[in-house]
Structure 1
């Protein structure tokens, strides 16, 4: 994957999707839902120098959660339950106090099937080193980019939501997936 010698790519929701996937833990885990949540307001920026990516940044509005679905559980999620999930997530993230989630990669290495990004992930005011493997696919006139990475909520001071005295709880590790398509430039 290459770009013009010195350019900046901006990628957003019109180009792809950013999804959060949760698991369920606790003694009564089968009663809970594995959630798929879309982040609806985000922007990724990639800076290029000498036809190589040199830095990347992702900024996500913390209150841009949209619960798409809940798999498993005793019954499907109602609209009111989706609203409650969103409300609980915003409280857990302290979204009014920390309105943005940010990832900044300051080192990018080419791999056989894409790039390895080394940087810092900042959630809820806590910053941790985070490594991301970005996979790329040449579609002739465009590039497909994809990522799947795991984040441990407790590393960022987030207490996973629970109910029934902890018998059902959101698993501490959540998965974040990203996919986007960007036109190739000459």
Structure 2
């Protein structure tokens, strides 16, 4: 493995991850239209306008995995990577109707974990446990720099529901994803499961780095590169309901 190639390969990924966060459409929103409610304000108004059962996300029982893949003729010289969050924060609410449900989730940027052994094992044979601790820490330090995620200025990634489509068997969440000072709209199919005193929300979707204005890393005229498509998988357990 070429460790000196490992660190830059994730640079593009963490500008589009989320980390909270079936197909996904991602389109730059830049400046919101004048008649459009801000996503967070819209979500809060939904929660406040109707009786809602509220849940808090349990960080210890929730996971977020961002999968980035190597590509190119020399892909064997690189690694696939898992970037994960082990401290998701936020809340989920349920109303009388599906469209009255929603969520707001934050991902602490400076606590993102690169290539956690358990996370790699959970994602299967494409993610063998062969990444050194020095390589992991070096990659994380690079990704938190001012030119990338800039964790010092932007310590959180936030995803907030805007509306929910479909039905209870196959709900689709339209959400606003904010990374650094940019917001994108994403479409996220989810599965909802009521548990004893809580709610489990799971889903998986894909985004393209290029949809966020990011050019994936390419070395030696594409001989070794980061695949544009990033896979995101999550499982949230929200508990502690009240009215």
Q: Does 1:62 align with 2:109?
A: yes
Q: TM-score, normalised by structure 2?
A: 0.63
Question: Which segments of 5 or more consecutive residues in structure 1 lack a partner in the other structure?
Answer: none
Shift of 1:160: 3.5
Between structures 1 and 2, the one with greater strand share: 1
Q: TM-score, normalised by structure 1?
A: 0.79
Q: 1:46 touches 1:57 (CA, 8 Å); kept in 2?
A: yes
Q: CA separation in 1, counterparts of 2:195 and 2:52?
A: 22
Question: Residue in 2 aligned with 1:37?
Answer: 83
Q: Does 1:86 align with 2:174?
A: no
Q: CA separation in 2, counterparts of 1:42 and 1:62?
A: 10
Q: 2:174 touches 2:186 (CA, 8 Å); kept in 1?
A: yes
Answer 1 or 2: higher relative contact order, Cα 8 Å, separation at least 6.
2
Q: SS of the residue aligned with 1:8?
A: strand
Shift of 1:99: 2.0
Shift of 1:87: 2.1
Q: SS of the residue aligned with 2:84?
A: strand
Q: CA separation in 1, counterparts of 2:128 and 2:235?
A: 31
Q: CA separation in 1, counterparts of 2:101 and 2:126?
A: 42
Between structures 1 and 2, the one with greater helix share: 2
Q: CA separation in 1, counterparts of 2:168 and 2:96?
A: 20
1:33-87 CA distances to partner (integer Å, 9 max, x unpaired)? 1111211232132233336443321211122211214666999211101112212
**Equivalent residue runs for 1:5-44 within 5 Å:** 5-44=51-90
Question: Which segments of 5 or more consecutive residues in structure 2 lack a partner in the other structure?
Answer: 1-50
Q: Please report the RMSD computed on the Cα atoms of aligned residues, expressed in angstroms.
A: 3.1
Question: Residue in 2 aligned with 1:76?
Answer: 130
Shift of 1:148: 0.5
Shift of 1:120: 1.5
Q: 1:124 touches 1:157 (CA, 8 Å); kept in 2?
A: no
